[in-house]
């Protein structure tokens, strides 16, 4: 099987954050995992112990992937041995994300987020 080479002349990324990865080159396996408690409040009050992942089922439930049952027929034609890009300009890569230039055999990415809203009651007119 013919492999292709990725060529990027120029790349600019403004921000990387929260366990993000910039990978250049071929990779056999990428596994990413992110979990977060997202809390929205009307006031800026922090109690210091805002929660634990183990308190919420969303973080302990097994991750289930539905099997692919239909037949998939794939035909690829690598007419050129190179994928060439002149310029990539990215504002930000965040939340356990991957910016990858190259080939990857297997990728497994999972993100679990529990959202909370603690809002003050609306005053009655």
Is 20 a member of any domain?
yes
pLDDT > 80? residue 15? yes
Q: How many residues does the chain have?
A: 125
pLDDT > 70? residue 1? no
pTM: 0.65
Is 44 a member of any domain?
yes
Is 71 a member of any domain?
no
Is 100 a member of any domain?
yes
Q: How many CB atoms lie within 10 A of CB 26?
A: 14
Mean pLDDT of 20-47: 85
Is 74 a member of any domain?
no
pLDDT for 68-92, tens place per residue?
A: 899 988 887 778 888 899 999 999 9
| Number of compact structural domains in the chain | 1
Segments forming the whole domain that contains residue 21: 5-63+81-118
Report angle CA 113, 118, 123 to the nearest 5 degrees: 150
pLDDT > 60? residue 2? no
- Nearby residues of 87 by Cβ (< 8 Å), 6 or more positions away: 8, 9, 10, 11, 12
Q: What's residue 87's pLDDT? A: 96
């Amino acid at each position: 099987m013919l492999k292709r080479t990725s060529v990027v002349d120029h790349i600019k990324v403004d921000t990387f954050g929260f366990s993000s990865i910039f990978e250049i080159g071929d990779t056999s396996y990428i596994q990413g995992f992110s979990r977060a408690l997202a809390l929205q409040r009307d006031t800026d009050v922090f109690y210091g112990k805002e929660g634990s992942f183990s308190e919420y089922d969303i973080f302990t439930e097994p991750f289930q992937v539905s099997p692919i049952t239909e037949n998939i027929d794939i035909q690829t034609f690598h007419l050129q041995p190179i994928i060439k890009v002149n310029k990539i300009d990215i504002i930000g890569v965040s939340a356990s994300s991957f910016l990858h230039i190259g080939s990857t055999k297997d990728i497994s990415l999972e993100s679990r987020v529990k959202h909370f809203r603690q809002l003050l009651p609306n005053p009655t007119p």
